[in-house]
Amino acid sequence: MSKIVSKEQFSANVVKLEVEAPLIARSRKAGHFVIVRLGEKGERIPLTIAGADIEKGTITLVIQAVGESSQKICALNVGDEITDLVGPLGQATHVEKVGTVVCAGGGVGVAPLMPIVEAFHKAGNRVIVVLAARTKELVILEEQMRAHSDEVIVMTDDGSQGTQGLVTDGIESVIKREKVDLCVTIGPAIMMKFVAALTKKYEIPTVSSLNTIMVDGTGMCGACRVSVGGKTKFVCVDGPEFDAHQVDFDEMIMRLGAYRDLEKK
């Protein structure tokens, strides 16, 4: 059991939870995720670790209420417990000094981007963050991002904050004005697909963190498999980060819909 020590409501559907997990806090790195399960009838779902405090022995999870399980987790309060929490899982982000890095996140994908932004900045890179949201109420972590990057560009679909436009518009504006050495993107699969198409055009190496269906998260089942460069990979052990230009996003989007009908019931 892992106790929730603090809760912050980021927006109507997005909450930030700080959870007791001393062992995970100590061993996690940017890019790692955990699997959580709530209650004896609960399912196992993957959540990226958005941060950790080794001294307090806690990790930070940012969750968007999209389905039954994430709604239940978002409804938890300080003092409540998560039944099962296991990690850190996956391969950590490969961080080195490459020059200028554009980190682009959309929706709740902004949260897992946070530790990556921090790590690239600490490694001496020029880091430009592009945050995208439908509307200004859904923009999260802007201040924290500013503290750990050289520039933050906010894009909203309706123009209610920052610049009106999509995440790709924000990235392209940077590419057009300066040399970009690496792009890191996390968000809905469809967004990452378009980011990958854009950066491919400009031949900018791009890494995306994939958010597929998972069960065990330890390489045991293959529910999370994706095609990367024509080869089948397991996101939970080989990823979650892959060369975005090699990922078959259409197949991934198709597989994400596997349980859509069952989830609606």
Partner 1 sequence: MTTAELIAARRAEPWREALRKSKKNKERTDIPRVKMNELDAAYRSRVRKEEVNLGLTAEQALVEAQRCLDCVNPTCMEGCPVNINIPSFIKHIEVGEFLDAARVLKETSALPAVCGRVCPQEKQCESLCIHTKMKKEAVAIGYLERFAADYERESGNISVPEIEQPNGIKIAVVGSGPAGLSFAGDMAKQGYTVTVFEALHQIGGVLKYGIPEFRLPNAIVDVEIEGLRQMGVQFISNCIIGKTISYEDLHEEGFKGIFVASGAGLPNFMNIPGENLVGVMSSNEYLTRVNLMDAADPESDTPVLQGKRVAVIGGGNTAMDSVRTARRLGAERAMIVYRRSEEEMPARLEEVKHAKEEGIEFLTLHNPIEYLGDASGRVQQMRLQKMELGEADASGRRRPVPVEGAVETIEVDEVIVSVGVSPNPLIPSAFQGLEVTKWGTVVVNQETMQSAIPDVYAGGDIVRGGATVILAMGDGRKAAAAMHAHLKKA
Contact 108, 138 (CB under 8 A): no
**Which of residues 136, 142, 215, 246 is near partner 1 by CB under 8 A?**
215
Secondary structure E strands in 169-240: 182-186, 206-209, 225-228, 231-234
68 binds partner 1 (CB under 8 A): yes
Residue 219 CB, nearest approach to partner 1 (Å): 5
9 binds partner 1 (CB under 8 A): no
By CB under 8 A, which span of 33-41, 111-119, 136-144, 200-208 interacts with partner 1?
33-41
**Which of residues 6, 54, 56, 83 is near partner 1 by CB under 8 A?**
83
The count of residues interacting with partner 1 (CB under 8 A) is 39
240 binds partner 1 (CB under 8 A): no
Structure tokens at 207: 């890494």
54 binds partner 1 (CB under 8 A): no
User: Which residues, 217 to 236, sit near partner 1 by CB under 8 A?
Assistant: 218-223, 225-227, 232
Residue 42 DSSP code: P
Residue 227 CB, nearest approach to partner 1 (Å): 6
Nearer to partner 1, 9 or 83 (CB): 83
Question: How does DSSP assign 84-128, residue by residue?
Answer: EEEEEESPPP-----SEEEEEEEGGGHHHHHHHHHHHHHTT-EEE
Query: Quick one: 181 exposed, middle or buried, by C-beta within 10 A (0-12, 13-18, 19+)?
Result: middle
239 binds partner 1 (CB under 8 A): no
Contact 24, 84 (CB under 8 A): no
How does strand 182-186 pair with strand 206-209?
parallel
What are 81's strand-pairing partners? 3
Binding site for partner 1 (CB under 8 A): 23-24, 27, 37, 39, 41-44, 68-69, 83-89, 215-216, 218-223, 225-227, 232, 237, 251, 254-255, 257-259, 262-263
